[in-house]
Amino acid sequence: MLPPLMDINSILIIGGGLSGFTVAQNLRTRGYDGTLGIVDPDGIPYDRPPLSKAYLLGQKDAGGIALAPESWYTQHDVEIITGTARELLLAESKGPDAQGIGVRLTDDRELYADRIVLALGGQARTLPIEGGDLDSVLVLRDRADADKLRSKLHPGTHLAIIGAGLIGAEVASAALKLGATVSLIDPIDPPLIPAVGQELARKLHDMHTPAGITTVQGTPARISCAQGMHTVELVDGTLITAHEVLVGIGMVPNTSMAQVAGLETDHGIIVDEHQRTSDSHIYAVGDASRTRTTTGELLRRAEHWEYAMNTGATAAASLSNQELPQHGASWFWSDRHGVHVEGVGEMNAQGTTILRFIDDSPVAAFRLGEHGKLVGAAAIDGGLTIRAARRIIDRGIIVDPVALADPNIPLKKLAR
């Protein structure tokens, strides 16, 4: 049993992305008035989704993507500690002279607290091929990556993007707007079937060519760079020459610090439904965390914005010894070529798909699982549909498949 909130006098959050920021924000709204700090090399927390959208396009600046203005941290007595943690200090928590648990930063500063929250996010996944580790090969995970990418995108730049999933497609769309020429390479055609289902994945991928992007199906075997030009060689021998190469093939959660400290990890820092790690003084949230349920089931790790926020809110509630918030089915969005994509639940669960068409083109897909229950949905420019689908999933409402397919029936009617 955790001590009540009044017995926790200091909380240190390592990582100031959305999940870490949400922990701090929720702790304060829940009444925690002890010492609170966020450690991050980037200082003031900022939001990542705009990095492949409005920020990349120059429509928002660094201030525009901050999760809160600098004054918020002063007003709420949250210390921003600019630095990088390199080691968890657990031994100090034991014995009569215990200082609490702590972290050692790369500059050797040591910081201690009653509770630590790991909100470490992850690293852009790199390609394990020759040239995949070239300094000039771009990735997109943080603001510095976005600044670097932006500085390379001019009218006439040829950008080859490896990975046509969510971020790859968003960057392709933004790069095009900035006047670049884009080749989008992916071994799978169409990508994103697990996220949005076959039909919407097809439709989304097919938007690239008319927009002016060259799509290439193939597996990269080698990347080289000579005289300012990169060449991506595919396994079938095809050569794609471009000024710049961006690899957008997902992320790898930052687990090594937790692992070295002996916390349980498995493609994520393992947490319970309170977001507590295998050391109950240490919590983990967001992209870096992975939940094992009370029944022992290890859930798939989510890497979405709302999940980061939800897990942050859960950790704050648990640290405050308050009832845990209930969260609905997982939700994400993405934007490309002027369309807005949303998905909720599990589109790749066992079952059948029901499609909704407008003008012979699929606009929404619904996945029905066991006993005809809705388990997942995805839509293009259908935010209200997805909101209603989420209600149907969360409440376990059984809906008529014929009505699901009928574009004249607003889904909200079926969610009652």
Ligand X SMILES: Cc1cc2nc3c(=O)[nH]c(=O)nc-3n(C[C@H](O)[C@H](O)[C@H](O)COP(=O)(O)OP(=O)(O)OC[C@H]3O[C@@H](n4cnc5c(N)ncnc54)[C@H](O)[C@@H]3O)c2cc1C
CA distance 45 to 22: 10
* Residue type (1 letter), 196: V
> What's the closest the beta carbon of residue 171 comes to ligand X, in angstroms?
8
Residue pair 304/292 in contact (Cβ under 8 Å)? The answer is: no
Residue 195 or 354: the one with the smaller Cβ distance to ligand X is 195
Of the candidates 171, 139, 111, 91, the one whose C-alpha atom is nearest the C-alpha of residue 337 is 171
Exactly one of 183, 254, 310, 314 binds ligand X (CB under 6 A); that residue is: 254
Residue 160 or 368: the one with the smaller Cβ distance to ligand X is 160
Exactly one of 30, 76, 125, 141 binds ligand X (CB under 6 A); that residue is: 141
By CB under 6 A, tell whether 39 contacts ligand X. Answer: yes
By CB under 6 A, tell whether 304 contacts ligand X. Answer: yes
CA distance 99 to 96: 9
By CB under 6 A, tell whether 301 contacts ligand X. Answer: no
Residue 69 or 401: the one with the smaller Cβ distance to ligand X is 69
CA distance 149 to 146: 5
Number of chain residues interacting with ligand X (CB under 6 A) = 34
* Residue type (1 letter), 248: G
Exactly one of 5, 16, 117, 230 binds ligand X (CB under 6 A); that residue is: 16
By CB under 6 A, tell whether 167 contacts ligand X. Answer: yes
Alpha-carbon distance values, 397 to 126, 371, 376 (Å): 42, 11, 13
Residue pair 236/243 in contact (Cβ under 8 Å)? The answer is: no
Exactly one of 191, 286, 376, 382 binds ligand X (CB under 6 A); that residue is: 286
By CB under 6 A, tell whether 100 contacts ligand X. Answer: no
By CB under 6 A, tell whether 334 contacts ligand X. Answer: yes
Residue 59 or 352: the one with the smaller Cβ distance to ligand X is 59
CA 273 to chain centre: 19
The 10 Å CB-count burial string (b at 16+, else e) for 3-42 is: eebeebeebbbbbbbbbbbbbbbbbbeeebebebbbbbeb
CA distance 263 to 159: 41
> What's the closest the beta carbon of residue 221 comes to ligand X, in angstroms?
26
> What's the closest the beta carbon of residue 377 comes to ligand X, in angstroms?
15
Of the candidates 66, 9, 16, 63, the one whose C-alpha atom is nearest the C-alpha of residue 39 is 16
CA distance 376 to 349: 8
Which residue stretch of 180-188, 221-229, 328-336, 344-352 sits at the interface with ligand X (rule: CB under 6 A)?
328-336
Q: Kindly state the DSSP code that residue 370 receives in the 8-state scheme.
A: G
Exactly one of 126, 281, 333, 394 binds ligand X (CB under 6 A); that residue is: 333
Exactly one of 11, 140, 176, 185 binds ligand X (CB under 6 A); that residue is: 140
Exactly one of 5, 8, 11, 18 binds ligand X (CB under 6 A); that residue is: 18
The footprint of ligand X on residues 371-410 (CB under 6 A) is none
The beta strand positions in 204-300, using DSSP E, are: 214-217, 220-226, 229-234, 239-242, 244-247, 251-253, 269-271, 282-284, 289-291
Which residue stretch of 194-202, 239-247, 297-305, 397-405 sits at the interface with ligand X (rule: CB under 6 A)?
297-305
Q: Which residues bind ligand X (CB under 6 A)?
A: 14-20, 39-42, 48-49, 51-52, 84-85, 119-121, 140-141, 167, 254, 286-288, 303-305, 308, 332-334
